[in-house]
Amino acid sequence: MNIIHLTEEDFLRRVADYRHPQAEWEYFGNRPAIVDFYAGWCGPCRALSPVLEEIASIYKDQLYVYKVDVDQCETVADAYDIRSIPTTFFIPMKGRPVKMVGAISKNEIERLVGEVLLKKEPYHAEV
């Protein structure tokens, strides 16, 4: 499995400083990332999980796929105003993340990977 499950401490080390969500966005990773905010009891989250596993396998050398359990990481979820799950962040190396709410299709994920994560110019969007 190529998906990495994050704790609050891991998120702080690998992704961003959630303690200051209003500050200028700064991504800490060394390759683009997808962050899936989910819960184990959420049906749409469970439906999205195998799609993200497949994406993680396909793009294993190009990007990270992280999962953040909102029940275990409430502070992170609150910092980024996660009110519906699944919520997925597509985090390019430069620029702000793109936030998608709901179970999104594999085609949409692949489109966002290509347009947002693997392109050379930063994608400008607000979280």
- Give the C-alpha separation, 105 to 52, whole Å: 10
Length of the chain counted residue by residue: 127
**What contacts 59, CB < 8 A, 6 or more positions away?**
65, 113
- Give the C-alpha separation, 60 to 5, whole Å: 15
List residues with catalytic annotation. 42, 45
Q: Is 2 helix (H, G, I), strand (E, B) or coil?
A: coil
